[in-house]
Structure 1
């Protein structure tokens, strides 16, 4: 499989930060860092839009998913609010992570802290059409929890 190439442009407030990187050979997500002029405190129950200092060019046919870092979630209750967030291939603005603090203590983010993971994934666009009826299935219209525990 050919590895997609994502072009990254450092913005002035992130010029000193490394590009997203995979921490291990088997990692699915590359770490995204915070580009902050001063520390940012997220109070319990609050959310914040955290800048990365990066803009990217994603190849057509791919997206980047912004996902939580498991260590932040497990140790501090800090996660990506709209996980996974989607960055479309035609977006050229700054990457941001919407973080929420679900923990009991204020959480401080500093310039350069790893705040989220970026997962590059293929995208398939579908066609949608109207239909008078849909095919039957065993589940039918059973909704949330309808298949049991």
Structure 2
């Protein structure tokens, strides 16, 4: 499988894995000027990239928070996890939400999120009147312990 990137802007940065066993590769902000995200606000941050999973239609690109931005600055994707469907060819944009109580500034070339390639399954959808029984049954929200 190949992950193809097209630069939509000259200063876009092609993602790369940072270590041998990294699950995700960092996406960087492609900005002409620093972008300040007000406390409690959300801003769409461009990456300047479009992507394609070459020949692989049973996978999806997922955009996750970078733990350092989320824990140190309170910046994380507004939709928690961004889903980039196989057939999308537009710019990868990260909607960053500022969960902190002070403005946070993103600079051009700053790593803002991580991109993970994940297999997907598309089962046949069937409506039924009953589901099989299990020991757990309908127990949820702490039913198996704290």
Tell me the TM-score normalized by structure 2: 0.92
- 2:22 match: 27
Q: How does 1:43-54 map to 2 (within 5 A)?
A: 43-54=38-49
With 17-26 and 112-121 compared, the bigger mean Cα shift is at: 17-26
Q: Does 1:123 align with 2:120?
A: yes
Q: Does 1:61 align with 2:52?
A: no
RMSD (CA atoms)? 1.2
Q: By how many angstroms is 1:104 displaced? A: 2.2
* CA distance, structure 1, for counterparts of residue 33 and residue 88 of structure 2: 27
How many matched pairs? 144
Q: By how many angstroms is 1:68 displaced? A: 0.5
* CA distance, structure 1, for counterparts of residue 80 and residue 119 of structure 2: 17
Q: How does 1:103-114 map to 2 (within 5 A)?
A: 103-114=100-111
SS in 1 for 2:48: strand
Query: Can you list the C-alpha shifts for 1:80-127, whole angstroms capped at 9, x where unaligned?
Result: 122221111111011011111111221101111110000011111111
SS in 1 for 2:68: helix
Unaligned 5+ segments in structure 1 are none
Q: Return the match for 1:41 from 36, 39, 45.
A: 36
SS in 1 for 2:96: strand
- 1:74 match: 71
Unaligned 5+ segments in structure 2 are none
Q: By how many angstroms is 1:143 displaced? A: 2.8
- Does structure 1 conserve the Cα–Cα contact (< 8 Å) formed by 2:38 and 2:102? yes
- 1:142 match: 139
